[in-house]
């Protein structure tokens, strides 16, 4: 029996580990590679030498790569060189015998891009790479454990020690109180130890955890660190990005504003079909000088592509840029003849992008697009009629920005500056001042309807939702209003966060739910302030600079689609679909897993409690053992592998998102669960002894009385399983009794096993069981019912006492 128990435990652990491995595979490193002329995302393991790949800040370099182009590219190579400062990369030749750290024309597999971007050709993959040579495989090994299961492991060990001591004590007590023979005492001490130690518990907990994590993955929340599963249940605040998480990230330009006019743009999505109109009349680029300049910047200072696939238009690159690309296409503008000489890529800190271009008519210009406030700060003039400039009318533009963003539109501005013809490079200094402001584009990015619902659900679950966005305050509060975040309250900006002391920040995060124009480093301070207020914080992120905040948060959540490898590595959970509602579901699932672990514990322990009680009472009162050690092992095995497993499949309790977050410091079981374990142990154990004594008294043979006692225990557990499906809520209702198919299946399996136990001749020989008559079955059946009703009554009383 012990061997069978061990084998089953081993198989279950194996299955659990397989489940986790499958989930880990979902997180393999991806690469941007050129295939059939298009940039596509591909698993790094599918790269071959000769592939052209693209690197962005936050990427893990997917192979060894010779750089063809590098723009402000720096890469952290400490894994390879031990040098913790990022190395600057460029495409210049190096000495033939340059060391690894000096080969600045190469990017090495496994290192992390910290800034800039580049493209290159793959020179080596897999074990041929530099990192592959020094270590065949860098793999993260994580044991299948969480604080709860580790705590249970410790508890199990202590419990086992206590039980062994008690067994020895029982030996002496039995010897002194009654005249048992050594053989009898030996058997009952072993029986007691076997009865009291919950052999099946670790395996059941592991499989419950693994199944839960698998279920979470199937709902798009991929767990990287198992601890998070538990922490999710205690989360009190979720800090979420806006773009793509709360909103759809399907951007469409709706309005274009220049000094003299406000244009409307029709059409939706990235399909380049729609019209640009001025007061209802079609507007053409030829006649509208300001519009032409605006479209030129938005289209040329842009890295996205739109293409049609299976009838759908999709964007490669950033959706914001895709929207501007579509806008330019609607206007009939073709940027092909513009040659790009240099670029300052978009970074969340800067909130703009700039390019140096030569135009088709031979001029050299700097084109800038980005957050309007950042661009206004850099402009001294604005475009006037006839290609002239006039002093910047900041008030005018600010009013327009307020108006557009107040409607929830994302506003992007465009500015330009003439440059000398010979100019080749572009530095931040070139665009610090003296730009000419051209105009604005208002982009719609509708909220995800399911995220609106999820925000409301979080509220009932006692979880606050905060929006932290790089976008403009007006846009953020308008979207917040639509989503039910912030209750129309104040919106704080990155500047305010910058100025606030740590103390003031703690106050601010209590009052404010929307933070706009933030930079990634603000996230870290916000997490700290929230944690200082005693909150348990879940924080989302996508960019490379979000990684420290994700690490610091109690649950770091990375975006699977938009997110960089660096963020994913820092995260506890990765969202496969970038969707806020997935976070809400993950919280629900996390709470459910924790519940199910607790259910498994309070289901299994009374089995042991009851059995131990039977043996103890027998020895104390000098009785013949009502069940033998092998029979006890049988009961432990069948209930742990069948019944308890059913609880791993238990769906969420109906009120799971209506109760407040769990106090992380509270103990797993708590007073009333300990009480329930004791109560059920005495109830079922007492019933088994009662049945045994009664049957003995009316002259039933010993093996038959024992068989009945075993069945009493088993039926008590079967009925108690239905109690355990709801921790404190009532289990009595048809809907609830039939909700989990696994429970009925395992009950069926258990009944078959019990029939074999009772009627199969070989089982009679092995286990000392005996065939029962049909009417005998009524006894365990009615005792089971009584146990069920008694526990329900106990739950009802506890509910009443605790005021629920």
Catalytic site positions: 241
Nearer to ligand ATP, 118 or 233 (CB): 118
DSSP secondary structure letters along 225-241:
STHHHHHHTT--EEEE-
User: Is residue 56 helix, strand or coil?
Assistant: strand
Residue 58 contacts residue 113 (beta carbons within 8 Å): yes
Nearer to ligand ATP, 70 or 409 (CB): 409
Nearer to ligand ATP, 259 or 369 (CB): 369
Part in contact with ligand ATP (CB under 6 A); list of ranges 32-40, 282-290, 317-325, 795-803 = 317-325
Report which residue's Cβ sits closest to ligand ATP: 470
How near is the Cβ of 736 to ligand ATP at its closest, in Å? Answer: 41
Nearer to ligand ATP, 542 or 589 (CB): 542
Task: Give the whole-angstrom CA distance, residue 514 versus residue 489.
Answer: 8
Task: Give the whole-angstrom CA distance, residue 296 versus residue 328.
Answer: 8
Nearer to ligand ATP, 229 or 239 (CB): 239
The CB-side HSE value for 710 (13 A sphere, CA atoms) comes to: 34
**740 to each of 283, 299, 705, how far by Cα in Å?**
62, 56, 34
Interface mask toward ligand ATP for 434-473; x: CB under 6 A: -----------------------------------xxxx-
Task: Give the whole-angstrom CA distance, residue 694 versus residue 707.
Answer: 13
User: In the set 288, 321, 572, 589, which binds ligand ATP (CB under 6 A)?
Assistant: 321
Nearer to ligand ATP, 109 or 302 (CB): 302
How near is the Cβ of 31 to ligand ATP at its closest, in Å? Answer: 21
In the range 337-396, which residues lie near ligand ATP by CB under 6 A? 346, 348, 351-353, 369-371
**Burial of 701 per CB tally in 10 Å (0-12, 13-18, 19+):** exposed
Task: Give the whole-angstrom CA distance, residue 720 versus residue 718.
Answer: 5
HEC string of 345-401 equals: CCCCCCCEEEEEEECCCCCEEEEEEECHHHHHHHEEEEECHHHCEEECCHHHHHHHH
How near is the Cβ of 308 to ligand ATP at its closest, in Å? Answer: 22
Nearer to ligand ATP, 240 or 631 (CB): 240
How near is the Cβ of 511 to ligand ATP at its closest, in Å? Answer: 20
Buried b (16+ CB within 10 A) or exposed e, 130-162: bbbeeeeeeeeeeebbbebbeebeebbeebeee
How near is the Cβ of 264 to ligand ATP at its closest, in Å? Answer: 21
How near is the Cβ of 427 to ligand ATP at its closest, in Å? Answer: 17
Interface mask toward ligand ATP for 233-262; x: CB under 6 A: --------xxx-------------------
**Burial of 243 per CB tally in 10 Å (0-12, 13-18, 19+):** buried
Nearer to ligand ATP, 334 or 349 (CB): 349
How near is the Cβ of 519 to ligand ATP at its closest, in Å? Answer: 8
How near is the Cβ of 572 to ligand ATP at its closest, in Å? Answer: 20
How near is the Cβ of 469 to ligand ATP at its closest, in Å? Answer: 3
Q: For residue 134, what are the contacts with CB-CB under 8 A and spacing of at least 6?
A: 80
Nearer to ligand ATP, 346 or 715 (CB): 346
Interface mask toward ligand ATP for 272-311; x: CB under 6 A: ----------------------------------------
**Burial of 223 per CB tally in 10 Å (0-12, 13-18, 19+):** buried
Residue 536 contacts residue 236 (beta carbons within 8 Å): yes
| Helix, strand, coil percentages in the chain from 3-state DSSP, rounded to 5 | 50, 20, 30
Helix (H) or strand (E) holding 412: strand 410-418
Nearer to ligand ATP, 371 or 537 (CB): 371
User: Is residue 252 helix, strand or coil?
Assistant: strand
The CB-side HSE value for 183 (13 A sphere, CA atoms) comes to: 0
Nearer to ligand ATP, 221 or 371 (CB): 371
Interface mask toward ligand ATP for 185-224; x: CB under 6 A: ----------------------------------------
User: In the set 74, 146, 149, 320, which binds ligand ATP (CB under 6 A)?
Assistant: 320
**133 to each of 84, 127, 358, how far by Cα in Å?**
20, 6, 45
Q: For residue 255, what are the contacts with CB-CB under 8 A and spacing of at least 6?
A: 262, 263, 264, 265, 404, 409, 440, 441, 442
**What are phi and psi for residue 429, nearest 5 degrees?**
-60, -30
Residue 75 contacts residue 86 (beta carbons within 8 Å): yes
| CA-closest candidate to residue 570, choices 544, 590, 531 | 544
Hey, which residues does 118 pair with through a beta bridge? Answer: 55, 70
User: Is residue 702 helix, strand or coil?
Assistant: helix
The CB-side HSE value for 636 (13 A sphere, CA atoms) comes to: 33
Residue 707 contacts residue 695 (beta carbons within 8 Å): no
* Polymer length of the chain: 804
How near is the Cβ of 240 to ligand ATP at its closest, in Å? Answer: 8
Interface mask toward ligand ATP for 11-30; x: CB under 6 A: --------------------
How near is the Cβ of 136 to ligand ATP at its closest, in Å? Answer: 38
Q: For residue 690, what are the contacts with CB-CB under 8 A and spacing of at least 6?
A: none
How near is the Cβ of 654 to ligand ATP at its closest, in Å? Answer: 33
Nearer to ligand ATP, 124 or 441 (CB): 441
How near is the Cβ of 569 to ligand ATP at its closest, in Å? Answer: 19
Q: How many residues bind ligand ATP (CB under 6 A)?
A: 20
User: In the set 256, 412, 419, 680, which binds ligand ATP (CB under 6 A)?
Assistant: 412
C-beta atoms surrounding 449 within 10 Å: 11
**Tokens 């705590």 label which residue?**
151
Nearer to ligand ATP, 259 or 466 (CB): 466
Contact residues: ligand ATP, CB under 6 A: 241-243, 318, 320-321, 346, 348, 351-353, 369-371, 410, 412, 469-472
């Amino acid at each position: 029996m012990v061997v069978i128990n061990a084998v089953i435990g081993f198989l279950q652990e194996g299955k659990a580990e397989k489940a986790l491995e499958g989930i880990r595979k979902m997180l393999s490193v991806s690469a941007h590679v050129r295939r059939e002329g298009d940039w596509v995302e591909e698993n790094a393991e599918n790269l071959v030498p000769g592939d052209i790949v693209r690197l962005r800040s936050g990427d893990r370099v997917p192979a060894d790569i010779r750089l063809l182009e590098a723009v402000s590219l720096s890469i952290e190579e400490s894994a390879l060189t031990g040098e913790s400062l990022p190395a600057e990369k460029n495409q210049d030749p190096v000495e033939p015998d340059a060391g690894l750290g000096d080969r600045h024309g190469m990017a090495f597999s496994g290192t992390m891009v910290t800034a800039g971007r580049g493209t290159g050709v793959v020179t080596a993959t897999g074990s041929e790479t530099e990192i592959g040579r020094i270590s065949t495989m860098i793999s993260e090994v994580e044991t299948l454990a969480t604080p709860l299961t580790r705590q249970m492991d410790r508890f199990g060990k202590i419990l086992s020690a206590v039980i062994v001591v008690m067994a020895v004590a029982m030996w002496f007590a039995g010897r002194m109180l009654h005249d048992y023979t050594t053989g009898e005492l030996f058997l009952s001490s072993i029986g007691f130890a076997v009865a009291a130690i919950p052999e099946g518990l670790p395996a059941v907990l592991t499989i419950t955890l693994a199944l839960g994590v698998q279920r979470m993955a199937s709902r798009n929340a991929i767990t990287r660190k198992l601890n998070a599963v538990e922490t999710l249940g205690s989360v009190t605040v979720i800090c979420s990005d806006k773009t793509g998480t709360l909103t759809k990230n399907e951007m469409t330009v709706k309005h274009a504003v220049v000094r003299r006019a406000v244009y409307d743009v029709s059409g939706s999505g990235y399909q380049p079909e729609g019209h640009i109109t001025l007061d209802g009349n079609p507007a053409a680029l030829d006649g509208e000088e300001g519009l032409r300049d605006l479209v030129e910047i938005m289209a040329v200072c842009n890295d996205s592509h739109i293409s049609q696939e299976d009838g759908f238009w999709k964007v490669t690159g950033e959706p914001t840029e895709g929207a501007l690309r579509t806008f330019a296409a609607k206007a009939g503008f073709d940027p092909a003849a513009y040659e790009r000489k240099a670029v300052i890529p978009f970074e969340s800190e800067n909130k703009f992008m700039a390019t140096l271009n030569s135009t088709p008519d031979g001029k050299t210009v700097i084109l800038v697009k980005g957050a309007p406030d950042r661009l206004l700060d850099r402009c001294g003039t604005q475009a006037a009629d006839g290609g002239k400039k006039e002093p910047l009318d900041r008030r005018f533009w600010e009013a327009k920005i307020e108006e557009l963003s107040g409607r929830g539109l994302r506003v992007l501005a465009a500015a330009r500056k003439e440059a000398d013809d010979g100019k080749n490079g572009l530095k931040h200094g070139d665009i610090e001042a003296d730009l000419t402001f051209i105009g604005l584009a208002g982009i719609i990015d509708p909220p995800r309807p399911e995220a609106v619902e999820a925000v409301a659900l979080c509220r009932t679950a006692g979880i606050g939702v905060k929006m932290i966005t790089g976008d403009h305050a007006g846009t953020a509060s308008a979207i917040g209003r639509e989503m039910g975040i912030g209750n129309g309250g104040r919106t704080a900006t990155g500047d305010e966060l910058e100025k606030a002391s740590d103390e003031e920040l703690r106050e601010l995060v209590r009052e404010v739910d929307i933070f706009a124009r933030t930079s990634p480093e603000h996230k870290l301070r916000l997490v700290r302030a929230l944690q200082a207020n005693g909150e348990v914080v879940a924080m989302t992120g996508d960019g490379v600079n979000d990684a420290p905040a994700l690490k610091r948060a109690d649950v770091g959540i990375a975006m699977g689609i938009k997110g960089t490898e660096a963020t994913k590595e820092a995260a506890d959970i990765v969202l496969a679909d970038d969707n806020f509602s997935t976070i809400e579901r993950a919280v629900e699932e996390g709470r459910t897993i924790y519940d199910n672990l607790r259910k498994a514990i309070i289901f299994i322990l009374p089995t042991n409690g009851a059995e131990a009680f039977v043996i103890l009472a027998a020895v104390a009162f000098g009785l013949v053992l009502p069940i033998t050690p092998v029979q006890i092992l049988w009961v432990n095995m069948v209930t742990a592998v069948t019944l308890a497993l059913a609880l791993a499949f238990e769906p969420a309790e109906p009120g799971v998102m209506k109760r407040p977050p769990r106090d992380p410091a509270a103990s797993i079981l708590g007073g009333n669960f300990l009480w329930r374990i004791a109560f059920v142990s005495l109830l079922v154990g007492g019933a088994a002894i009662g049945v045994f004594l009664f049957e003995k008294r009316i002259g039933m043979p010993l093996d038959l009385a024992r068989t009945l006692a075993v069945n009493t225990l088993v039926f008590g557990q079967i009925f108690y399983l239905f109690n355990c499906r709801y921790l404190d809520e009532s289990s009595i209702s048809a809907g609830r009794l039939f909700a989990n198919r696994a429970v009925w299946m395992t009950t069926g399996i258990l009944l078959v096993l019990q029939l074999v136990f009772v009627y199969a001749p070989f089982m009679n020989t092995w286990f000392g069981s005996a065939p029962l008559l049909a009417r005998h079955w009524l006894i365990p059946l009615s005792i089971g019912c009584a146990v069920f009703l008694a526990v329900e009554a106990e739950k009802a009383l506890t509910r009443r006492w605790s005021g629920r």
